[in-house]
Amino acid sequence: MSSVLIIAEHQNGKLKKSTLNAITFGREAAEKLQAELCLLVIGHDVSGVADELKSYGASKIVLADAPDLANYTAETWSYAAAEASKMRDAVIVGMSSGTTGKDMMPRVAVKLDAGMGSDVFAFDGEKFLRGMWAGNAVATVDIKTPIKVVTIQSTAFAAAEPVSGESSVEKIDISMPQTRTRFVEMRQTVSERPDPTEAGVVITGGRGVNGAENFKIIERLADIFGGAVGATRAAVDAGWVPNDLQIGQTGKMVAPDLYVAAGLSGSIQHQAGMKNSKVIVAINKDEEAPIFQIADFGIVADLFKVIPEMSDILEKEMS
């Protein structure tokens, strides 16, 4: 039986939330194609990740676990993904459109001689939809090859809920060819706060925050919720915060329960990364700012007055 193969994204032995959104895409696609849903975990000593996935209704969890795959490189992981796809007779191979998916899936497509759709947000059983021009246009993508490779816009799909029953885990052996790249080291930003893509609450600051030191008020509000800090490209380019906090077309895509946009105008490129958030609160002193057009709640005010007041009240309420 052919399959829809979804590749799990994980880091430091923990499954990334976006994988659950990709599984929802996978379930829908498998149903439409009368195919089975398989989930692929690549890495080393990652049987814990495979175990975490057992309750999501897949026909099989495929585990490519080998020392050569311990650290992500596009070359080794895309090879493993392509080999696993052939073994499972995959007709769609997908991964969430995060940093890893964007990096490796084009290589998977080349290895499988497959056509590819990026950032897809819908599939009708034949064609895919994807956003273009920062979400201002929708393209219908008709991939003609027997195997179709996609990156999945995870914010467009709800996180999959566990179902009854357990998937079996099949460990596969991948004999890795001689590679031309090797992993040297991983330099990670270490933060106590969650990543914006994983958090239920994201507090984002823009150019209006006006300096690295001032981001402390954004951080304080984020910490009250146990949430993440985000930033616009203007704030990142100014060097106030690291670029892994950038939200938007060329940053991260988020869809938290609560998104607070403070001191940012709401450019189309920024909106492309956050407009699917469940509740959007905008704080801006310019009532004409475009962010108010998509906000559920708008506060026309100086953020330096509103955010500390908000934080004081919330701290009292939540203690």
Ligand X SMILES: Cc1cc2nc3c(=O)[nH]c(=O)nc-3n(C[C@H](O)[C@H](O)[C@H](O)COP(=O)(O)OP(=O)(O)OC[C@H]3O[C@@H](n4cnc5c(N)ncnc54)[C@H](O)[C@@H]3O)c2cc1C
Binding site for ligand X (CB under 6 A): 206-208, 232-235, 246-251, 263-265, 267, 269-270, 273, 283-286, 289, 302-304
| Between 131 and 208, CB nearer to ligand X | 208
Give the nearest distance from C-beta 116 to ligand X in angstroms. Answer: 21
Give the nearest distance from C-beta 37 to ligand X in angstroms. Answer: 32
105: closest CA among 244, 247, 225, 6? 6
240: closest CA among 258, 262, 273, 267? 262
| Between 71 and 267, CB nearer to ligand X | 267
Give the nearest distance from C-beta 233 to ligand X in angstroms. Answer: 3
| Between 2 and 267, CB nearer to ligand X | 267
Give the nearest distance from C-beta 258 to ligand X in angstroms. Answer: 18
| Between 41 and 291, CB nearer to ligand X | 291
| Between 273 and 298, CB nearer to ligand X | 273
Give the nearest distance from C-beta 221 to ligand X in angstroms. Answer: 14
For ligand X, the nearest residue by Cβ is: 248
> How far is the CA of 28 from the CAs of 21, 24, 97, in angstroms?
11, 6, 17
| Between 55 and 269, CB nearer to ligand X | 269
Give the nearest distance from C-beta 68 to ligand X in angstroms. Answer: 34
Task: Say if residues 157 and 21 touch (Cβ distance below 8 Å).
Answer: yes
Give the nearest distance from C-beta 63 to ligand X in angstroms. Answer: 35
| Between 90 and 303, CB nearer to ligand X | 303
Give the nearest distance from C-beta 265 to ligand X in angstroms. Answer: 3
Question: SS3 string of the chain?
Answer: CCEEEEECCEECCEECHHHHHHHHHHHHHHHHHCCEEEEEEEECCCHHHHHHCCCCCCCEEEEEECHHHCCCCHHHHHHHHHHHHHHCCEEEEEEECCHHHHHHHHHHHHHHCCEEEEEEEEECCCCEEEEECCCCEEEEECCCCCCEEEEECHHHCCCCCCCCCCCEEEEECCCCCCCCCCCCCCCCCCCCCCCCCCCCEEEEECHHHCCCCCHHHHHHHHHHHCCEEEECHHHHHCCCCCHHHEECCCCECCCCCEEEEECCCCCHHHHCCCCCCCEEEEEECCCCCCHHHHCCEEEECCHHHHHHHHHHHHHHHHC
| Between 57 and 298, CB nearer to ligand X | 298
